[in-house]
Amino acid sequence: MSYIKVWSKFSGSKDPSKKFKIVVAPLDRVQELAEFMANYFVKEENNFRASGVPNSEEALKEYRDYMTQQLNNGAYHAVVCCVDNGNDEEIGDFVGASVTWRTTKDACVEKFQVKAKEYQKFMQLSAGMKTYYDITVKHKQDKYYIDRGIAVHPDYRGYGIAQEFLKVRRMECKEHGVPLTGAWMSAFGTQKAGRRDGWEIVCTIDRHEFITKFDAMHDPNTPPTIEFMIYKI
């Protein structure tokens, strides 16, 4: 039986009787993880929505293929949350996932052939945000953890899972000698979790102005700002 790395065990904030654990994502469930992220991150993350990716089967497939590729080749690292049944040798159904990119200041940008026009628009928005704040330019460190998404199943929101994922990211940084982690927080939930976990807001973008600048779709049910948050170890 293979060893399962358990990063954290915790009780749900709104119901302490609910027990959860965060573990390293199993390599034999990478496609399942990519599907989870497509369903509960891509379909709700603001820049993906502004680009129209959730409404395009072609774009969603490209995302799943890209995420699977990056996880399989080790470029992306993921941890998942599941209900804690008391058996540390079992990983149940995913109720949350956190994906990061372990990178360096001299790392090459990930390469992937993007064909769907919606995915191309998303890439344009991502590049646009980097012109506002580029962690590798602003911070002269050799290694970084950069966010590639946090997702929580709708049935398990409100239990503090997103905030626990941020705590685990800090733990990962300490274990692997990475001095800095950063993330664009573009949803109410992640912005709230980042503040509660003590992350520092180093850049704020007016969402309406940003979306208008790049001729993307406006969503009235999103935060008025996009915030880049960092945590120094």
Cα–Cα distance between 189 and 162 in angstroms, integer?
8
How many structural domains comprise the chain?
Answer: 1
User: What CATH number corresponds to the domain at position 48?
Assistant: 3.40.630.30
Q: How confident is the model at residue 221 (pLDDT cuts 50, 70, 90)?
A: confident
Taking the C-alpha atoms of residue 51 and residue 58, their distance in angstroms, rounded to an integer, is 13
pLDDT the model gives residue 203? 97
* 116 within a domain of the structure (yes/no): yes
Is 192 inside a domain boundary? Answer: yes
Band (2; pLDDT cuts 50, 70, 90)? low
How much is the average pLDDT of 32-53?
A: 94
Average pLDDT of span 181-188: 92
Task: Give per-residue pLDDT as tens, 45-60.
Answer: 989 999 999 999 999 9
Beta 225-232 vs 180-185: how paired, if at all?
Answer: antiparallel
User: What share of the chain has pLDDT > 70, as a percent?
Assistant: 96
Residue 1: inside a domain, yes or no?
no
Domain carrying residue 141: 6-232
Contact 19, 95 (CB under 8 A): no
Q: How far is CA 232 from CA 16, 152, 170, in A?
A: 30, 25, 9
- Give the global pTM: 0.92
